[in-house]
Structure 1
């Protein structure tokens, strides 16, 4: 029988109710024991690396998860499942996708409802994740398993605060769907798979969480000027600008970007939910002008994932030019 290693980080899936609000309290072993059906698909081993709500994750916990994934793969696991909170689940999945080079499936899952809540999605999501983790069609690369679907890490986005089908891949769709008896492939897993582009040093378990690169996000929109970027710049190692449309900014923000590029790399994403960034328009904040200033474009990466990638690239010691080149 296949062996799957479960790496627990906390989240709603591990939470219990309390007078002052629900919080992670269950160990990974308890999650596995609560879903007996997983034993029909794999022999399970468990490691806990954190007990954080999804909204309070840091790169230290993500690095610990990456280390556990690498160790499990080296020890012969056929696949790895990482459980954590949904708020930043897609961030973790993408970090593992770009900086955790293993040859087995890595599947990240969680739940919108606790195990004790009526209609909990926790058991089904954990079972789906284990089923995906023993399927070598989903290696290499990281995926998100949720609501009977499997999404490529680079595409998965949490789209709803409460809905059980919250994870979607806008403009792409899921890689696979899991029924009771079968796995239906919707997209070629090899084409949707790993965006591996960063050295393992990007997620070093010995690095303190406070030692990761500082990359703030500045949003463009109606009436936005360059003042926020100017205030953030002294403490920043890099910047992500969430542009409008194809990746454009207001004129004043575009001017501030030009100044920022003298000291840090700037990556431009789009606030749209689907589609790539592209240099089409002129004027001070248009994409052609920003490109000529030297920004890197995020392509179809979400703003959150563009930030994750830039943080890890700079933390790994890549130069400004090399970090920007990982987006090409």
Structure 2
């Protein structure tokens, strides 16, 4: 009997034997999904295929466990946006796809039961690389609505690649009296090394705590021992695939959650439940750009954005916040045209100071705004938010130098 797609097979090629699931292929390679979940390609002309087991005619769908409400537990809203924490491997294609709803997450992570009562809502179902400012606005409005309707805390499931952008956007758009926690996972639920369950449980612990801030909760180490609680304007994904990829930059985390005990240990000060009155400021100016300077780069990119309808520009400069002297007149042209230009640094730690060297002083004279110690992506999102509140350039400068959501730390001498 001839092997077909999705059958279990053994393939021998050049003296090596492989076993796995035969996958669809549009190339001259035979694609095999190994038992460890990875796909390999084998030259078709050298592959000897032996059928081991026919595919199942029907792939069973996961059974959803009914969510039971319990008295005396806080009410948490889970807002699903997609991402790996809400995904599984589609074994017909070998791809990781977002196909869990919020109810699916509860069924997949039974450890969440007993921590809170959950109201689940799908806001959108996208991979995080498809995130955009209009989605941040939609999400902020949904969060605001859930809190107005009595939620004691919010959990937002989100893909990790752009989670820091969303966390920053929500930090500027929402004043919250309750915890708002973004959580994701680096590895899908199908993998033995998945971090989705632990991250979700730790997120639920924070969502039921007194930490009334927008924060990101993710693995703190490569082991299953604790998660960090990162402030939403201070966190960056620092590794492509490690489970402890997220780190607080230029500031320590708010604290951490022990696992599996769910005990929270705080490290720094934070807003507590009830200190802030709920408020929504959801206007953004999406036409802002982030430009990274590189040695020898021409100013064409800056010139293009200045003349293409962009309302604000963030430059990721070198060191203390520098670009080539050839860029200085272009910065002046942009600021003279009413386009605010914010200077940040591509260094991971430290703050911008354009008063140390001549180039920096020239950049300031050209009208640039120092981005203090903000991460470039946070400065970009903040500039979008600031321009959504005002078009007055002096007010823009003032707000960019004002810490709105912990994005700027008090300056210390160099």
Same fold (TM over 0.5): yes
Q: Secondary structure at the match of 1:241?
A: strand
Match of 2:199 among 119, 125, 143: 125
Tell me by how many angstroms 1:95 deviates. 0.7
Match of 1:103 among 177, 194, 203: 177
| Alignment partners' CA distance in 1, 2:156 and 2:396 | 27
Residue 188 of structure 2 contacts residue 194 of structure 2 at CA under 8 Å; is this kept in 1?
A: yes
1 or 2 for the larger relative contact order (CA 8 Å, sep ≥6)? 1
Between 69-78 and 17-26, the greater mean CA deviation after superposition: 17-26
Cα-Cα RMSD: 2.1
Larger Rg: 2
Tell me by how many angstroms 1:7 deviates. 0.7
Residue 213 of structure 1 contacts residue 314 of structure 1 at CA under 8 Å; is this kept in 2?
A: no
- Which residue of structure 1 lines up, in the alignment, with residue 392 of structure 2? 319
1:249 aligns with 2:328: no
- Which residue of structure 2 lines up, in the alignment, with residue 206 of structure 1? none
Tell me by how many angstroms 1:20 deviates. 6.7
TM-score w.r.t. length of structure 2: 0.72
Match of 1:62 among 132, 136, 140: 136
Runs of 5+ unmatched residues, structure 2: 1-72, 220-226, 402-414
Between 226-235 and 83-92, the greater mean CA deviation after superposition: 226-235
1:84 aligns with 2:181: no
Match of 1:202 among 283, 293, 301: 283
The count of corresponding residues between Structure 1 and Structure 2 is 313
| Alignment partners' CA distance in 2, 1:252 and 1:13 | 45
- Which residue of structure 2 lines up, in the alignment, with residue 209 of structure 1? none
Residue 14 of structure 1 contacts residue 31 of structure 1 at CA under 8 Å; is this kept in 2?
A: yes
Superposed, which structure 2 residues align to 1:1-328 within 5 Å?
A: 1-18=73-90, 19=93, 21-136=95-210, 138-139=211-212, 141-147=213-219, 148-179=227-258, 180-181=260-261, 182-190=263-271, 200-202=281-283, 212-235=285-308, 236-263=310-337, 264-283=339-358, 286-328=359-401
| Alignment partners' CA distance in 1, 2:249 and 2:75 | 32
**Which of the pair is proportionally richer in strand?**
2
Tell me by how many angstroms 1:16 deviates. 2.6
Tell me by how many angstroms 1:199 deviates. 6.2
Residue 199 of structure 1 contacts residue 316 of structure 1 at CA under 8 Å; is this kept in 2?
A: no
- Which residue of structure 2 lines up, in the alignment, with residue 207 of structure 1? none
| Alignment partners' CA distance in 2, 1:58 and 1:25 | 20
Residue 277 of structure 1 contacts residue 300 of structure 1 at CA under 8 Å; is this kept in 2?
A: yes
Tell me by how many angstroms 1:70 deviates. 0.5
Runs of 5+ unmatched residues, structure 1: 204-211
Residue 281 of structure 1 contacts residue 289 of structure 1 at CA under 8 Å; is this kept in 2?
A: no
Q: Secondary structure at the match of 2:119?
A: strand
Deviations 1:178-200 (A, max 9, x none): 11322111222249xx9x9x961
Tell me by how many angstroms 1:110 deviates. 0.6
Residue 176 of structure 1 contacts residue 183 of structure 1 at CA under 8 Å; is this kept in 2?
A: yes
Deviations 1:216-270 (A, max 9, x none): 1222221122122112222211111111111111111222111111120111111
Residue 329 of structure 2 contacts residue 366 of structure 2 at CA under 8 Å; is this kept in 1?
A: no
**Which of the pair is proportionally richer in helix?**
1
